[in-house]
Amino acid sequence: MVDDESVSRKVLRKALEAFGQCEEAEDGREATAAFKQAWDDSSPFDLMMLDLSMPDMDGREVIHHIRGLEKDMKVPDQQQTKIVMVTSHSEEDTVLACLSAGCNDFIVKPFEQETLFEKLAKLGFDRY
């Protein structure tokens, strides 16, 4: 999960622990470095929960970078990391921009845990 707010990371971590191991990043640069390292270690991330508004590198820039790395590594579409934007920005233009950048789904903060579970189930993730 990638979010510059520690409270948001804590909330997401609690929810995501029902699905498996979870790593945290505080900003886009840390997230893209962790993404690359996971591939280098032959243990790529299945899912990335990504905040839109962050310092230095916003969520859309992270998506472009991640999708670019996947393209360079020739990762088949079905094996690409699923990316879900988690943000307080709910404007239609923002949602469409994120989806066109390559995210797979979108959740608006604050959210109900069940909403997160439903969206992850649609992406093929099961709880333990």
Q: What pLDDT was estimated at residue 55?
A: 86
Looking at residue 5, the DSSP 8-state letter turns out to be: -
Q: What pLDDT was estimated at residue 90?
A: 84
Please give the full DSSP string across 36-98, using - where no structure is assigned. HHHHHTT---SEEEE-S--SSS-HHHHHHHHHHHHHHTT--GGGSPEEEEEES---HHHHHHH
Prediction pTM value = 0.93
Using one digit for the tens of pLDDT, what is the confidence trace for 60-105? Answer: 999 999 999 999 999 999 999 999 999 888 888 988 998 999 999 9
Q: Are 50 and 2 in contact (CB under 8 A)?
A: yes
Task: Give residue 54's domain range.
Answer: 6-112
Please report which confidence band the pLDDT of residue 127 belongs to, taking 50, 70 and 90 as the band edges.
confident
Residue predicted with more confidence, 128 or 37? 37
Residue 122 falls inside a structural domain: no
Number of domains present in the structure of the chain: 1
Please report which confidence band the pLDDT of residue 30 belongs to, taking 50, 70 and 90 as the band edges.
very high
| CATH number of the domain where residue 20 is located | 3.40.50.2300
